Chain A
Amino acid sequence: MTVLNVTDLRISYGPVQALRGASLTAAAGEVVGIVGESGCGKSTLASALIGLPAPEARVSGRVEVEGRDLVALPETARRAIRGDRVAMVFQDPMTAFNPVLTLGEQLVDFQHRLPAPKAEKRARAAAMLARVGLPDPQLALRRYMHELSGGMRQRAAIAAALLMRPALLVADEPTTALDVTMEAQIIHLLRELRQDHHGAIVIVTHHLGVVGELCDRVYVMYAGEVVEEGTTDEIHHDPRHPYTRALIACDPAHIAGRVERLPTIPGRLPDLTAPPPGCAFAARCPQAGPDCAVPPPRVRVSPTHAALCHRVRP
């Protein structure tokens, strides 16, 4: 069952076109990854998915969650969906919680839609904290955020997002702020949780390793567009778009021997106030030709695999 259906989503901040017609879907029980470098529009997309775009953002297109279009809905209706049908695990667990309220007070507040007494909400919060592996949840509920470690905060953030059993869970860089050991633990936790979470999970990250560990399908973004989509296997073992290939070549995990310097993609992101009319990656692409100055076609490679490129053959 499709939980999330995004069609031709365009978001701009003043003259900057951060998102230029992104389309994606996610079904119940599925984990979908959105991967790309900084500035490709990932975070903009993530906030649109939970119906909380920046106040100055101009949004067009559709973001349907369980059939209701978050873009078209008025703010009051969007607010009713946020924290109930869609929830988000924020990027920086250090600042994602209020510093002057206890974790318990906030987790109880986040269940404000639940018609239940406070004691029951606290019990639910404690049970969820135990579920995400926080030792001594009762004590943690009485703690302020500065009294918890980074890993504990990230677990608490995941627990908060799962409290209302949302149909769509969006995790924005869930491991970026953590050290490697903690990252492995959180990935392990997310893998465990996908077993008993029946909704769709969207993980936004710049880290291909996280995608490989967690996701069923991947969308690769570049300069506000989805340039390639496919199953995790297809993206990792048969990347078609030159950008995806370059990205994988840059992943230190894929580099066998010792190297003097890590490889990078030469050039930089195009100016998003005046994006090129043709392929956005052409300026950095080793295979670019004169035909790349016109908009590239979306070429289907398999029923699940497609790339936005002139060079890709089915």
Chain B
Amino acid sequence: MLTYAVKRIGLAVVILFTVMLAMYAMVFLVPGDPASLALGPRATPALKAELIARMGLDQPVQVQVWNFFANALQGNLGYDVWSKKPVLDQILEVFPNTLILGVVALGWALVLGVALGCLAVVWRGTLVDTALGILSVSMIAVPSFVIALYSLLVFAVWLNWLPAVGAGTPGDWGSQARAVILPAFAIGITWVGYLARLVRASMLEVMGANHIRTARAFGLSEARIVTRYALRLAIIPTVAILAVGFGAILSSAVFVETVFSRPGIGTLITSAVAKRNYPVVMGTTLFMTAFYLFVVTAADLIIARLDPRVRDVFRG
């Protein structure tokens, strides 16, 4: 297990460095220089030269890359071109909002999705199974922004039950909780469908496996077979897809935070792109990449904990 963990985390670090390098290369290859962009058309050459020196853009490429890596590793993602605030501070300020949104969205999707999946297994082949299948596929098929706009219209505008915009008053848990419901509903609903289908499929596959028949042949109770023999295997694909889901949900945060005017990583990155605020765009992208890698690696470690066969992949 330790060997696997070390190798898996090492792999994540390599991926992160590759992403950083690719990001740097992209920015480097884009024509135009950040200094004139930041200072505007009326900047004097002296001012420009000063800013270029301050940003280190007069250094050789390899030194620039080295500085970028060294700074990033120390938590220095650069400074906002407009407000001059450190990028990392800005990210950390709004990130909790996005994290809460993601956790709540995936959380309710997980609970409902697993429940619906299990119901479909229990009543497989019946009308309930068919109805749940149609429902799940519909949830997958309807785009999240349609759900977002209509839920906004119905619950916030017509019924006036829930706030339409914002993330709630800071410090007031009640208002924050009310503010997260609609966006979490909008981006979570697709995942209810996905998870219901996935849980149904993996549960049916595992329950039909030979080793389940063996457990039955030794007279183990059905409850024990499900909890000890089947669930540990059936849960593995779900854990894997949850990690991917977390990444997908973070990227849907970009539009859902815009629709609900909710401060978060999504709004930060959209406004930065609109204002050509390169350090913020790069810093945020890097931060999200690192976070996503963290989630995926954690999921892989959980799977390795659940499945001994995975642990041995890197061995021998």
> With a CB–CB cut-off of 8 A, which chain B residues contact A95?
209-211
Q: CB < 8 Å: which of B216, B217, B219, B229 contacts A98?
A: B229
Judged by a CB distance under 8 angstroms, whether B312 is at the interface is: yes
- Tell me the residues in window 56-100 of chain A with beta carbons closer than 8 Å to chain B beta carbons: 79-84, 87-88, 90, 92, 95-100
Q: Residues of B contacting A79 with CB < 8 Å? A: 216, 219, 221
Q: Per-residue CB proximity of B222-238 to A under 8 Å, as 1/0?
A: 00100011001100000
Expressed in whole angstroms, the Cα–Cα distance for A110 and B216 within the complex equals 10
Whether B111 is near chain A, meaning CB under 8 Å from some CB there, is no
Interchain CB contact (< 8 A) of B308 among A84, A99, A109, A113: A99
Cβ of B89 within 8 Å of any chain A Cβ, yes or no, is no
* CA gap between A82 and B216 in the complex, in Å: 8
Contacts of A160 in B (CB 8 A): 214, 218
Q: Is the CB of A100 within 8 A of B233?
A: yes
A98 to B213, CA, bound (A): 10
Given A100-B233, A101-B229, A146-B308, the answer on whether A112 and B210 have CB atoms closer than 8 Å is: no
Contact A96 B219 (CB under 8 A): no
Bound Cα distance A81, B219 (Å)? 7
> Do B307 and A100 have beta carbons less than 8 Å apart?
yes
B220 touches A90 (CB 8 A): no
Cβ contact within 8 Å between B211 and A97: yes
Let me know if B217 and A87 touch, CB within 8 A: yes
Docked pose: A147 CA to B309 CA in angstroms: 9
Interface mask (A177-219 → B, CB under 8 Å = 1, otherwise 0): 0000000000000000000000000000000000000000000
Closest Cβ–Cβ distance, residue A77 to chain B (whole Å): 11
Q: Which residues of B contact A50 (CB under 8 A)?
A: 217
Residues of A within 8 A of B219 (CB): 79-84, 112-113
CB pair B308–A90 under 8 Å, yes or no, is no
Quick one: closest A residue to B210, CB to CB? Answer: A95
Q: Interface range on chain B: under 10, 10 to 19, 20 to 34, or 35 or more?
A: 20 to 34
Our pick among B211, B221, B233, B308 for the contact of A96 (Cβ within 8 Å) is B211
Q: In the complex, what residue of chain A is closest to B233 when comparing beta carbons? A: A100
Q: Which residues of B contact A81 (CB under 8 A)?
A: 219
Distance to closest chain B CB from A2 (angstroms): 22
**Contact in complex: A144, B220 (CB < 8 Å):** no
Output the nearest chain B residue to A54 by Cβ-Cβ distance: B213
**A24 CA to B294 CA, complexed, in Å:** 62
B215 at the interface (CB under 8 A from A): yes
B306 within 8 A of A: yes
A101: chain B residues at CB < 8 Å are 228-229, 232
Taking a contact as CB atoms under 8 Å apart, the answer to whether B308 and A144 are in contact is yes
Among residues 76 to 132 in chain B, which have CB atoms less than 8 Å away from a CB atom of chain A?
none
Q: How far is the CB of B286 from chain A (nearest CB, A)?
A: 36
Shortest B235–chain A CB gap in Å is 10
Shortest Cβ distance from residue A59 to the other chain B in the assembled complex, whole angstroms: 16
Report the separation of the CA atoms of residues A272 and B219 in the bound assembly, to the nearest whole angstrom.
Answer: 31
Question: Does A130 reach chain B (CB closer than 8 Å)?
Answer: no
Complex interface: chain A residues within 8 A of B228 (CB)? 101, 109
Assess whether A98 is in contact with B215, with CB atoms less than 8 Å apart.
yes
Contacts of B209 in A (CB 8 A): 95
- The answer, yes or no, to whether A52 is at the interface (CB within 8 Å) is yes
Interface residues of A (CB under 8 A from B): 50, 52, 79-84, 87-88, 90, 92, 95-101, 109-110, 112-113, 144, 146-147, 160
Chain B residues near A (Cβ < 8 Å): 209-211, 213-221, 224, 228-229, 232-233, 306-309, 312
Q: What are the 10 closest A-B residue pairs judged by CB atoms, nearest first?
A: A83-B218, A83-B219, A95-B210, A82-B219, A144-B308, A110-B218, A98-B211, A79-B219, A88-B217, A96-B214
Chain A to chain B contacts (Cβ below 8 Å), 7 pairs:
A52-B216, A109-B220, A109-B224, A113-B219, A146-B309, A160-B214, A160-B218
**Told that A99-B307, A109-B228 touch, could you supply 17 new A-B pairs with CB distance under 8 A?**
A52-B213, A52-B216, A83-B217, A83-B220, A90-B210, A90-B213, A95-B211, A97-B211, A98-B214, A99-B308, A99-B309, A100-B307, A100-B309, A109-B215, A110-B218, A144-B309, A146-B308
